[in-house]
Structure 1
Amino acid sequence: MSHTIRVGDLVTGEAVVLDLRVAQLASRAVAYAIDVAVQFGLLVILFLIAPVDIDNALQDALALTLLIAVMIGFPTAMETATRGRSLGKLAMGLRVVRDDGGAIRFRHALVRSLTGFVVDFWVLGLGGAIALFVSLFSPQGKRVGDYLAGTVVIHTRVPRQEVELAVMPPQLAEWASGLDLSQLPEELVLAARQYLSRYHELNEQARWDLGSRLSDDVGAAIRSPRVEYTHPHPYLSAVLAERRRRAAR
């Protein structure tokens, strides 16, 4: 039996609706401007080091190849490798996630990059006019590429009071200090924070079912599964509190 917490607009694979802040147009515009500056910088460097003693047809083919590689290949590879972040999004605290709140994959990043280049911004996009128009009329600030890929851009910087809900249980402190948290996905961290923040709004069965699903995913990521008799709440609290402690240190 699945349970749903109506606290936001994004539904995770654990059937938890995340209360995440959808990125607004201004922050997305700044992030995109940073990305465009980086891409044009790469293009200039590549054109400067490209060979010039070749015929015109080969020059045109090389120029087209470099353009596609930088404007489509580079953002696709970047968002795939970082699970939804470009340099601009990293600077602005943004991330691309699926509509269900999960991490994007290569196909999502490719669709966004292709549509962004052809429709939203450059070939047909009138310098971003189409992306701007579509985003203004989208409740989640989506552009055409987001609609086709099934993605949305969110803020990953959550309010401080929400982060502090993760308190280290004394009995788990020593265990948590030895965890490898380097492979813990950001979307799982966000889902765990939401679970802890809404814990007292759930009935006992929902607390256990939702917490168990999240704990199983977190345990697989950190390679330290929850002991069967341990309640999900202290387990998730210990993991997030240890993660916060290391970040602060």
Structure 2
Amino acid sequence: MASSAASPRSEVRTPAARGVTLIDIASEEILTGEAVALDVQPLGFFLRALGCLIDMVVGVVLLIGGGLLLVTMAASGALPDSALRIGIITLIVLVMVVLPTTVETLSRGRSLGRLAVGGRIVRVDGGAAGFRAALIRALVGVLELWLTLGGIAAVVGMFTPRAQRLGDLVAGTASERTRTRPLPPPAPGLPPGWESWAQVADVSRLPDRLAARVSQFVRGAELLDPAARVRIAGSLADAVAPFVSPRPPADPEAFVRAVASVRRDREYRALVIERERAASLTGR
């Protein structure tokens, strides 16, 4: 699946004698066990930090509320003094470990904070994270989140490609975006005779701003003055050519229309697959 966002890529080529096979995988893409690259957007560092802060604030409120309740019960004699310490320890374990593990497991990687920022915890191969991963993340979180006020998580997250914290590295998880991009606007169909080229064309390196200009042109070309239409088509074809491979010798406008159609179709398929995958993770 091609990604429209520019990102560092690694290429693997077979010897020329056997033909060239190009595997183009973005550094932020998720590679499944079947070597299928999923075009999934990881949740950024600041959004992850904000979601974590929301979850910790909720935890602090629960700790304070539960602690006041236990102290009140002990002061009124409803709770023996010997049980107060046990109650406080139990409350800490419930809020820091049991509650986040349960919520993350039942909600398939979500929490209140991640719902607010549009994120979900998944395995590094893109699959749904289960109870084991949630428990490991919660246990490690006691150290990196609660005991250090998020200091360890922040330092580790700044130096990992997907803003993974220490618990993610241990559990083999990462955070992905759940708010998918809107479907691209419709574009005119592929010009006749370009079907074979469309099957092998690489348009993934086309910058988003340039792609938007191309899409805008092909949707309104019929309304332009003929001379201006030819001039703009030639200018766009020259700008697009360095980012498209292979470029067949053809009329500039036909070339631009073909690029717009291929890119739009691939973006549409990628977004449909992403939405279907998100729906399968949430069980809807």
Q: Structure 2 length as normaliser, TM-score? A: 0.53
Q: Once the 2 structures are TM-superposed, how far is the Cα of residue 14 of structure 1 from its aligned partner?
A: 4.9
Q: 1:129-148 maps to which residues of 2 (within 5 A)?
A: 129-148=151-170
Identity of aligned residues (%): 36
Give the alignment partner of residue 126 of structure 2, picking from 95, 98, 101: 101
C-alpha separation between the residues in 1 aligned to 2:121 and 2:64?
Answer: 27
AA partner of residue 25 (structure 2): R
Structure 1's unaligned 5+ residue stretches are 166-198, 203-233, 245-249
In 2: Cα distance, 1:117 partner to 1:75 partner: 11
Q: In the alignment, is the contact (CA less than 8 A) between 2:29 and 2:41 conserved in 1? A: no
Q: Residue 122 of structure 1 corresponds to which residue in structure 2? A: 146
Trace 1:14-29 onto structure 2 (pairs within 5 A): 14-29=34-49
Larger Rg: 2
Q: 1:153 Cα deviation (Å)?
A: 0.8
Confirm or deny: 8 A CA contact 1:35 1:87 kept in the other structure.
yes
Q: Is the 8 A contact 1:83 1:105 kept in 2?
A: yes
Q: How does 1:1-249 map to 2 (within 5 A)?
A: 6=25, 8-50=28-70, 51-52=73-74, 53=77, 54-118=79-143, 120-123=144-147, 126-161=148-183
Q: In the aligned structure 2, how far is the partner of 1:158 from the partner of 1:152?
A: 17
CA distance in 1, matches of 2:135, 2:128: 14
Aligned residues: 174
Amino acid at match of 1:6: I
Aligned to 2:254: none
TM-score, reference length from structure 1:
0.60
SS for the counterpart of 1:161 is coil
1:5 shift after superposition: 7.1
